[in-house]
């Protein structure tokens, strides 16, 4: 009997989780990358942050995923603390949608929905139709898993010891909260743990009074994912994770203080216990959100005191491209040049972090590098569009030449960002495949990178201050870098031929050299712009 209950429940939970995953995947693909773009352009208005958090979580079907995404954006400097908090508390509301769906006893539609979703997924001619099919298929699997779990638990009605255990949760609510938090932390999904609780109520295995502490506990347990994601991250990311924990812990504590009246009110929201449980989950998070929105300023200060440090936010988009000054070409060119130098600083930082990924196997930097790559690509487009509009105005010959130089430099910097991303990917491959690199090879790479980085620094500096002598040094150093790349390549091929180097690692080494040499070429191009002015 025990094994039958265990295996059926486990299988039902597996279907439930898989359904959520498939449904989320289909919704995300159908929506494209819009949810991420929404986060990137999030305004400072808290209410919009909450709405964004709700919408994103409905799309990804996981508050943990939304919160981890927010922690990543905070770590990349694309979101400040207030924005992060507003999205996080919105995510807590969004995750209750799943509970609302499964609380309705409509398991009869599970198999037809799976059939319709499968047909759309397999025979859909357009991508959107296939993604829609995945969403419908996941929806059906979710209900099938819910029905399987519920039926698998039905034999527990006969166990008096099980009823006695559940009765403890209403007598000792703190115990129920701890159990709900622990289970949610283990399965890494508040939707799954809430689904199990609702499945228990569908079989009349648990009274509403015992279900409430468990539901409250799931809100605390879901914080574990964000905490793990913030380990080793910057101040902003750690603050976002702490805010998530405090939001739920304080909210649960308040609900615990007023547990009896809160439970009585929730019982009036529906007739069936499953619906009461789902409503409790939703109303708790809505009420909690309202409280924290009112005291958001003070809550942010509390989080900053707990995690002290400087909260740096990267501006995603141009800072110095003002369309209002296009009619004044000298001023507009100055702004474009400032933006270009900002872009150069980001590209150099990208290159440095990519090399750190390669040399130290620090994969935590990858998220930040990817965000900087998006930023560099965006700036290159913004600068070129701005300069193209500027070129429509009357300018002197020198100003027109400067506009062309800025466009060319922006393109070179964007390509440097691409090579930095390539190096990051090489480092990721090296780390994940545990490819061995000798100390000699690592020292050669470090020294070669130092030459290229110094060359890039001089090129950017020469462009900034229009220093022809410094630009000439870059051109001379480019010849040295080219020769050094050829020498290192030959030495490494010799090591491969004499079996002193692992072949797969050798390929990575040679690709890295090639990317660094190309960075040097683009630095040389920037220096040439100074010399040809």
Has residue 43 got a pLDDT over 50?
no
Distances in Å between the alpha carbon of 360 and those of 190, 191, 363? 35, 37, 9
Q: How far apart are CA 272 and CA 274, in angstroms?
A: 6
Q: Which residue has the tokens 């209900």?
A: 143
Q: In which band, very low, low, confident or very high, does the pLDDT at 27 lie, cut at 50, 70 and 90?
A: low
Give the mean pLDDT of 468-497.
87
- Highest mean pLDDT among 366-370, 391-395, 408-412, 477-481 belongs to 408-412
Q: How far apart are CA 347 and CA 382, in angstroms?
A: 16
CATH topology of domain 324-531: Methane Monooxygenase Hydroxylase; Chain G, domain 1 (1.20.58)
Residue 83, token pair as written in the block? 């924005």
H/E element, 310:
none
Contact 424, 357 (CB under 8 A): yes
Q: What is the pLDDT of residues 278-288, one digit of tens each?
A: 899 889 989 98
Q: How far apart are CA 493 and CA 486, in angstroms?
A: 11
Give the mean pLDDT of 60-73.
66
Q: How far apart are CA 85 and CA 281, in angstroms?
A: 19
Q: In which band, very low, low, confident or very high, does the pLDDT at 72 lie, cut at 50, 70 and 90?
A: low
Contact 471, 530 (CB under 8 A): yes
Q: What is the pLDDT of residues 106-140, one digit of tens each?
A: 666 777 888 888 888 788 778 777 877 877 887 77
User: pTM here?
Assistant: 0.57
Has residue 419 got a pLDDT over 90?
yes
- Highest mean pLDDT among 135-149, 215-229, 254-268, 356-370 belongs to 254-268
67 or 60, greater pLDDT: 67
3-state SS string for 438-495? CHHHHHHHHHHHHHHHHHHHHHHHHHHHCCHHHHHHHHHHHHHHHHHHHHHHHHHHHH
Q: In which band, very low, low, confident or very high, does the pLDDT at 77 lie, cut at 50, 70 and 90?
A: low
DSSP, collapsed to helix, strand or coil, labels residue 264 as: helix
Has residue 141 got a pLDDT over 60?
yes
Has residue 516 got a pLDDT over 90?
yes
Which of 277, 432, 304, 417 is closest to 362 using CA atoms? 432
Q: How far apart are CA 358 and CA 426, in angstroms?
A: 7
Has residue 8 got a pLDDT over 70?
yes
Q: How far apart are CA 392 and CA 395, in angstroms?
A: 9
The residue extents of the domains of the chain are 2-306, 324-531
- What is residue 64's predicted lDDT score, i.e. its pLDDT? 65
Q: How far apart are CA 447 and CA 426, in angstroms?
A: 18
Q: In which band, very low, low, confident or very high, does the pLDDT at 398 lie, cut at 50, 70 and 90?
A: confident
Neighbour count for residue 525 (Cβ, 10 Å): 19
Give the mean pLDDT of 441-468.
91
Q: How far apart are CA 179 and CA 211, in angstroms?
A: 11
Q: What is the pLDDT of residues 299-313, one digit of tens each?
A: 888 888 888 876 555
Contact 460, 519 (CB under 8 A): no
Residue-averaged pLDDT of the chain = 81
Q: What is the pLDDT of residues 317-376, one digit of tens each?
A: 677 888 878 888 888 898 899 999 999 999 999 999 999 999 988 887 887 788 788 888
């Amino acid at each position: 009997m025990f094994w039958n209950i265990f295996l059926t429940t486990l299988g039902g939970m597996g279907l439930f989780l898989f359904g959520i995953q498939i449904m989320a995947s289909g919704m995300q693909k159908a929506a494209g990358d819009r949810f991420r773009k929404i986060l990137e352009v999030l305004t400072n208005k808290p209410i919009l942050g909450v709405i964004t958090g709700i919408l994103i979580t409905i799309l990804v079907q996981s508050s943990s995923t939304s919160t981890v995404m927010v922690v990543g954006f905070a770590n990349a400097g694309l979101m400040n603390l207030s924005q992060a908090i507003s999205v996080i508390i919105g995510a807590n509301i969004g995750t209750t949608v799943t509970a609302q769906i499964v609380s309705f006893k409509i398991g009869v539609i599970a198999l037809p929905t799976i059939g319709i979703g499968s047909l759309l997924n397999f025979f859909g001619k357009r991508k959107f139709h296939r993604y829609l099919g995945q969403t419908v298929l996941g929806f059906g699997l979710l209900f099938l898993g819910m029905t399987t779990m519920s039926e698998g638990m039905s034999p527990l009605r006969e166990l008096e010891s099980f009823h006695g255990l559940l009765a403890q949760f209403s007598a000792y609510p703190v115990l129920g909260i701890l159990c709900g938090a622990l289970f949610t932390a283990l399965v890494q999904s508040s939707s799954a743990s809430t689904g199990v609780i609702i499945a228990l109520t569908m079989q009349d295995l648990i009274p509403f009074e015992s279900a409430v502490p468990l539901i409250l506990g799931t809100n605390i347990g879901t914080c574990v994912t964000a905490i793990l994601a913030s380990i080793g991250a910057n101040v902003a990311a750690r603050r976002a994770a702490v805010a998530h924990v405090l939001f739920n812990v304080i909210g649960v504590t308040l609900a615990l203080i007023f547990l009896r009246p809160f439970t009585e009110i929730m019982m009036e929201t529906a007739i069936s216990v499953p619906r009461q449980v789902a409503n409790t989950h939703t109303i708790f998070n809505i009420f909690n959100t309202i409280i924290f929105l009112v005291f958001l300023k003070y809550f942010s200060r509390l989080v900053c005191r707990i995690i002290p440090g400087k909260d740096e936010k990267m501006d995603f988009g141009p800072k110095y491209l003002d369309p209002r000054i296009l009619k004044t070409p000298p001023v507009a060119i100055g702004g474009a040049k400032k933006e270009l130098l900002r872009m150069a600083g980001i590209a150099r930082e990208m290159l440095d972090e990519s090399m750190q990924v390669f040399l130290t196997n620090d994969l935590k930097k990858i998220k930040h590098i990817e965000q900087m790559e998006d930023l560099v690509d965006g700036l290159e487009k913004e600068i070129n569009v701005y300069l193209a509009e500027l070129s429509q105005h009357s300018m002197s010959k020198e100003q027109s030449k400067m506009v062309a130089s800025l466009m060319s430099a922006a393109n070179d910097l964007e390509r440097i960002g691409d090579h930095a991303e390539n190096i990051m990917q090489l480092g990721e491959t090296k780390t994940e495949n545990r490819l061995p690199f000798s100390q000699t090879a690592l020292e050669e790479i470090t020294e070669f990178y130092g030459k290229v980085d110094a060359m890039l620094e001089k090129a950017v500096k020469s462009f900034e201050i229009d220093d022809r002598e410094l630009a000439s040094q870059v051109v001379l150093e480019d010849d040295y870098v080219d020769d050094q790349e050829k020498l290192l390549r030959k030495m490494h091929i010799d090591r491969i031929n004499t079996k002193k180097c692992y072949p797969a690692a050798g390929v990575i080494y040679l690709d890295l050299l090639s990317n660094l040499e190309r960075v040097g070429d683009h630095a040389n191009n920037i220096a040439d712009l100074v010399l040809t002015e």
